[in-house]
Amino acid sequence: MKTVFDFFCHSPTVLFGAGRFADLPVRLEQLGKSRVLLITTTGGARRYRAVADVLASQLAASFDGAVAHCPIEIAHAALKTFRTRECDVVVTVGGGSTIGLGKYIAVETGAPHITLPTTLSGSEMTPLFGVLVDGEKRSRREPNALANTVIVDPALAQSLPIRETATTGMNALAHCIEALYVPKSNPLTSQLALTGIDMLYRALKKLADEPTDLEARTQAAYGATIGGLMINSVGIGMHHRICHILGGRFKVPHGESNCVVLPHVLAYNAPAIPEACATMESVMGAHPAVALQRLVRDLGAPVSLRELDVPADSIAAIADESFRHIDHNPLPVDEAAVLKLLQAAWAGQEPSVR
């Protein structure tokens, strides 16, 4: 155990619990803001109509064009709406697509950002976001991108399709698992990460059979909030570097790439965290890399890059680019190792545990 370590956690204000979306108007009054730009996806505009309704006269404009990876053209369009309608605060409802767009507007305008996450991506807890420019996902970390307030209302997520729940849930698990072995990991974050893994795994198992179960939704949201804190506190590793390449080059949704890649990266790095793997195995009943892939299958989510239409002849190039972006890993890694890992992920093979 490390007995000397640094711990950083600059967190938004978090309001957690079923029904908390109704506190949004009061929070706006506390911040002295009254002209909201509400951002959703097209489907989210219908699904989360109750949020628009509770805003009433505080709603100045809506933008329902958020899409994955935040293309710069979409970002510019949302920013124009914010300025044209003289908004003074941005509110986002949904997952990483809407939250990332809200972060962009907060950075460009200095306006506070209130977000109501309904997926499990954890993006709401971090100052990280990316913008897609000329086919490249350009990641940014800006202090003003950190949300002012996060309202985690699991009841809002009850209507979320199980595939989105599954894919963003695997993303949340990746945040917690990577937190166990990145250079900034420490005893405090590792214990939090293991709690998040436990909560997420049990909740996703339950949601595979009962997608609207509110208790399971609440446990999953709790685990995902921990996952977001982990990114903010200790950062990301090899797994996320690979997934960002897949998203930028092939527009693979981030959650879906997590479903495929996470079990293989965990299998590779498992020898570096034997105690944590033993703890996870006690919860999952099998080696965690194998158990996670089985969970993905049970949730009806993809287990291979082939299912995500990633061309087989692109794997070598992805491995080369990924390797050049990997700045740390608990075990030695070279391009050949990344290539082997990606070949197994493309085929959907069972993770090779050592």
pLDDT in tens, 335-345: 999 999 999 99
- pLDDT band for position 3 (cuts 50, 70, 90): confident
Q: Is residue 3 part of a domain?
A: no
Residues 121 and 183 in one domain: no
Q: pLDDT for 77-86, tens place per residue?
A: 999 999 999 9
Q: Which of 329, 342, 167 has its CA nearest to residue 255? A: 167
Report pLDDT for 83: 98
Q: What's the pLDDT score for residue 1?
A: 56
Q: 141 vs 73, 107, 123, 333, CA distance in Å?
A: 20, 10, 12, 26
Calculate mean pLDDT across residues 7-15: 85
Higher pLDDT, 216 or 141: 216
Question: Residue 243 and residue 222: Cα distance in Å, rounded?
Answer: 23
Query: What angle, 0 to 180 degrees and rounded to 10, lies between the N-to-C axes of helices 288-298 and 162-178?
Result: 170
Q: What is the mean pLDDT of residues 141-170?
A: 93
Tally of domains within the chain: 2
100 with 221, same domain: the answer is: no
2 part of a folded domain: no
CATH of the domain at 224: 1.20.1090.10
Q: How confident is the model at residue 232 (pLDDT cuts 50, 70, 90)?
A: confident
Query: Is residue 80 assigned to a domain?
Result: yes
225 and 261 share a domain?
yes
Q: Each residue of 158-206: pLDDT tens digit?
A: 988 899 999 999 999 999 999 999 999 999 999 999 999 999 999 999 9
Where does a domain end: 112, 132, 157? 157
33 and 168 assigned to the same domain: no
In the predicted structure, residue 324 carries a pLDDT above the cut 70: yes
Q: Of all residues in the chain, what percent carry a pLDDT higher than 90?
A: 82
Look at residues 113, 131, 157 and tell me which one is the last residue of a structural domain: 157
- Do 169 and 114 fall within a single domain? no
In a domain, 206, yes or no: yes
Give the CATH number for residue 43: 3.40.50.1970
Instruction: Identify whether residues 239 and 111 lie together within a single domain.
Output: no
Of the candidates 157, 181, 200, which is a domain's last residue?
Answer: 157
Task: Indicate if 86 and 50 belong to the same structural domain.
Answer: yes
How many Å apart are CA 93 and CA 37, to the nearest integer? 11
pTM for the model stands at 0.90
Same domain, residue pair 125 and 170: no
Alpha-carbon distance 158 to 137, whole Å?
Answer: 30
The Cα 155–Cα 153 span in angstroms is 5
Residues facing residue 14 across a β-bridge: 150
Q: Is residue 1 part of a domain?
A: no
- For residue 168, the enclosing domain spans 161-347
